[in-house]
Homo-oligomer: A and B are copies of this chain.
Amino acid sequence: MKKTSLNDIAMRLGVSKTLVSLVLNGKGREHRISEEVCKKVLALAKELNYQPNQIAKGLRTGKTNTIGLIIADIANPFFGKLGREIEKEASKHGYRVMFCSSDENAENFRLQLEMLQQGQVDGLIISPPAGSEQQIKMLDRSKIPYVLIDRYFPEIDSNAIVIDNFQAAYNATKHLIEQGYQNIACITVNNTLNNMRQRLEGYKKALLDAKQNPDEHLIKIMPFSHEKDDFATAIKQLTISGEMKADAIFFTTSKVGIMGLESIHSLGLNIPDDVAVVSFDDPDAYRISNPPVTAVAQPLKEIGSQSVKVLMEWMNGKGKKKKPERIVLEAGLKIRKSSVRLFFS
C-alpha cells in the first residue's frame, strides 16, 4: 500500500490539492474556506491516516525542521548528556536532531559538516575539533545558522556557548591548595583547543597565586589516544618513581580522569591519603567511586538550552546573522571525599 498523498485526498473529494493543503495547514479560516469543506477534508485525512511527506515539504519550503549536531563522541557521557538536553530542547521547538561524532578528528568533521550542509538541516550546533578553523570560517561565510558549544576559536566571530574553563580550573586547584596539598599535579590531554589550554592555565595561575611554582614534572600531557599504558606510566611517575612526588592530581577531563583513577586503583594507592583527586566533568562514575570524586560539574542543561535558543533566534531571524553571542557560563565544584583531608573533615 502506498502512502496517501495530498493528491489522493483531493481526488477523492473532488477538490484541488491547493485547498487540501490550505485546510491541513490550518489556513482554512484565513482563506475563508467553507466550514463543511474543511470538515470533509480533515475527516478524510484522518481516515486515511495522512502524513505529509516532509521531504517534499522541505524541498518546497527550504525548511527541514532538523538541526545537525556534531560533537566528539556521543558515547562519552559528557556529550551524551549534553546531546540529550539538546534533543529535548529542540523537540520543544518542533525540531529533530541528527547526531554526528567526529572523534575530535578534523577530517571526519569536515566530511560530516559537508554532509549536513547538503540541504539536510536548518541549523547546526557544533563542538569543533582542533584544526577545524578553516571549516568554521567557511561555515561562517555560508548563510547557514550555527552555534558552537564547549569550545570556540577566538579569532572567529561565532555564536558560542561555553563555560569559564580558566576560572573552573582555577577554583578546582585552589580547593586542593586550601586542603593543604603541596605538590599538585595536572594530567591533561594533548589538544590545542582553547578550552583545554584554559584549563591548564587556570591550574597554573592558582598555583602561582599561592606561591607554588608549577613544576613541569607535575604536568602530564597525554596523547589523545588515551592508552591505558600511557596512563599507568604517568601515574607511576607522579606517585612512585618520578623526581617529584605528587600528593594531589587535577584531571582536566573525565575521560582522562577515569583512565587515571583506574591506574591509581591498580597501583593500590589510597585516595585521598596517598594522592587526592579532582577532575573536570562529573560522570556517574564519580559519584559511585569509592571515595566519591570531587568534580567540576558543567551546567549541561543550560549549555543545551542556551545553544538551542541562540540557534532558534538566528534561524527565525530571517537568515540575518545577528551580532555573535558568546555566552560564558559558570561551572560548579562538587566537593567530595577524594580531595578532602581527613583531619579537616
Which chain A residues have a beta carbon within 8 Å of chain B's beta carbons? 1, 3, 51-56, 58-59, 64, 66, 73-77, 80-81, 83-84, 87-88, 96-101, 114-115, 117-120, 142-143, 258, 261-262, 265, 271, 283-285, 287-292
Contact = CB atoms under 8 A, between A and B. Distances in A.
A56 B288 contact: no
A101 B258 CA distance: 26
Contact of A83 (B99, B271, B289): B99
A281 to B, nearest CB: 12
Contacts of A143: 1
A97 B287 CA distance: 32
Contact of A265 (B64, B74, B288): B288
Interface centre among A64, A75, A77 (most CB of B within 10 A): A75
A118 B55 CA distance: 8
A298 B143 CA distance: 44
Given A55-B59, A75-B81, A258-B288, 14 more contacts: A51-B114, A51-B117, A53-B59, A55-B119, A55-B120, A56-B59, A56-B119, A74-B84, A87-B101, A98-B99, A261-B288, A262-B288, A265-B288, A290-B290
Contacts of A287: 258, 262
B87 A99 contact: yes
A1 B141 CA distance: 9
B114 A87 contact: no
Nearest to A84: B75
B80 A74 contact: yes
A55 B55 CA distance: 6
B118 A53 contact: yes
A97 B97 CA distance: 9
Contacts of A3: 119
B52 A118 contact: yes
